[in-house]
Amino acid sequence: MIQLRVKILAFKEAEAKYIELGKKRCSDMLPDLEANIQFVEDDADILFILSGGSEQGAKLLAEKNRFYILLSNELDNSNAAALEIKAWMNREGISSVLLSNPKEMKAYMSKYIEVTSAIEALKGKQLGLIGNVSDWLIASSVEKNVLMCRLGINLKQIDWKSLCSFGDAEINNDFLNKFEYTDHQEKLNASKIYNILKDCVENEKLDALTVECFPLVRQKSVTACLALSLFNDQQIPAGCEGDLASIVGMMFAKELSGSIPWMANVAKISAETALFAHCTIGTNLLSDYEVTTHFETGLGTAIRGMYRYNDITVFRFNSELNKAFITTGEVLDRPRYATACRTQIEVKLPLSAITKLKENPLGNHHLILQGNQLEKLQLACGLLGIELI
């Protein structure tokens, strides 16, 4: 159970019985969460501003790179003090939210517990990097210690040579039944890649994986696109090109939203829209699809599909996991350009998001989440001290 660590702040001379009154007021404001509340003297995430005169106490307590929930009410100059504290925190760059309405508190705290639980669920997860980060992803590698310190995820780098060889790999009949493709030999080859990666996931006890896939194309003329698509359908986040920033974002988004997003290239940016495209999308995100060849090489197999949703959220971390790009968007078209990866969507974005993509990008690949996930992502980033660009 997630604990809500609450500090009661009052005027300096407040007696113990007044602080006890504050605890009762706080519990009354959050009646459905009383079992979660833990009153503390330090290391609090929630500050209940019980009265005027608590401003200096908040100033002494607050830390940089922390996120605070400020609670206040209409009694004893609580709101007046809370506004002063909130203004000071804004000036000092300390992330916070001020809640003074009981209905607002209930809705926000429910979401806070949901998001906090999702963040906690990431701790101890095992992420596999099969091969290396691809050479062209010069802004998308994440250091192992950064990943552990920021999110508690353990990174395992696994050499392709340590896995079953393509020549010795078995065919997976369940995989063959999943995908229809006229080139039977290519489908057999793709099923072998799935089996190789499936064994790796099971043997290494991986919760997610990202694959340096182009060595497969160069050496065996096969691709991992269908295998990665199927893993995503099976609720195992799976990305390509060894993109660590993207796979971490996929794991993060899955815990927050319950669905694995689609990792896609930003293939084109215009005045109001962006074109996202890639070959590894999970088929559960599509209303219809076909298996075709991989875009860049014309070899192997890939997914060309019709993205199912119209309202989306676009999301990405930087390589240090201390900045994030988040925006909502509307899918306007699902084109089939020959000049981009197989599954494609044209998305209308706010002008501010278009400007950020052009002038302050965090990298190429972005994650497409179904529906509006803005509030959850923003809150999660706030709790982790991640700056929203």
What pLDDT does 217 receive? 67
Give the residues across from 370 on adjacent strands: 312
Closest CA to 189 of 210, 214, 172, 212: 172
What is the C-alpha separation between 280 and 228, in angstroms, rounded?
6
Residue 212 vs residues 31, 148, 239, 250: alpha-carbon distances, Å: 50, 21, 9, 17
Q: Which residues of the chain have pLDDT under 70?
A: 1, 217, 299
* pLDDT at residue 75 in the model: 92
CA distance 105 to 306: 40
Decide if 346 contacts 273 (C-beta within 8 A). Answer: yes
Residues in contact with 175: Cβ distance below 8 Å, sequence separation at least 6, in sequence order: 190, 191, 194, 195, 226, 227, 230
Quick one: pLDDT at residue 223?
86
CA distance 195 to 10: 62
CATH number of 4-108: 3.40.50
**Residue 179 neighbours by CB under 8 Å, 6+ apart:** 187, 190, 226, 291, 301
* pLDDT tens per residue across span 334-357: 988 888 788 889 999 999 999 999
Neighbours of 326 (CB within 10 A): 21
Domain with CATH 3.40.50 in the chain: 4-108
Per-residue model confidence (pLDDT) at position 116: 92
d(CA 304, CA 344): 8
Which token pair is 227?
Answer: 């295998």
Tokens of 376: 């959850």
Report d(CA 152, CA 125) in Å as an integer: 7
